[in-house]
């Protein structure tokens, strides 16, 4: 039984899973739209939305809170250029939106292994 076991294992070891999620989120924030499998999109969607909310809420905080929010984001992503883009470009676009920053659009099965493919993208007003 899988009581109290949260998250998606994605058929990988812990290190590979962490690296995969980190790379997918980096690519998502870089391109603002990625094509991936449904399971991988579901695995990173919540983390991406939490990072956007962190960046959005830090805009109204003190300087110490802004630095703390950036440090938390760097610990999750590890890329200073991407953090700058997240806090300065992406988060201000969602300043008036209470949540739901991403959209998942189904594409259908992949030809090789019939995995359900989706497009994960940022919502634009």
pLDDT digits (tens, 9 = 90+) for 14-70: 999 999 999 999 999 999 999 999 999 999 999 999 999 999 999 999 999 999 999
Residue 103 near residue 25, CB atoms below 8 Å: no
Residue holding tokens 């076991």? 5
Would the pTM count as exceeding 0.85? Answer: yes
Under DSSP, the state recorded for 87 is I
| Residue 81 exposure: Cα atoms within 13 Å on the Cβ side | 3
């Amino acid at each position: 039984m899988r009581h109290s076991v949260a998250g998606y294992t994605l058929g990988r070891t812990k290190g590979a899973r962490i690296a995969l999620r980190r790379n997918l989120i980096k690519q998502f924030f870089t391109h603002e739209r990625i094509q991936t499998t449904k399971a991988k999109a579901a695995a990173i969607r919540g983390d991406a939305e939490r990072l956007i909310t962190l960046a959005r809420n830090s805009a109204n905080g003190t300087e110490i809170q802004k630095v703390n929010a950036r440090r938390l984001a760097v610990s999750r992503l590890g890329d200073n250029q991407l953090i700058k883009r997240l806090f300065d470009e992406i988060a201000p676009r969602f300043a008036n939106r209470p949540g739901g920053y991403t959209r998942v659009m189904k594409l259908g099965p992949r030809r090789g292994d019939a995995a359900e493919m989706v497009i994960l993208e940022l919502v634009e007003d």
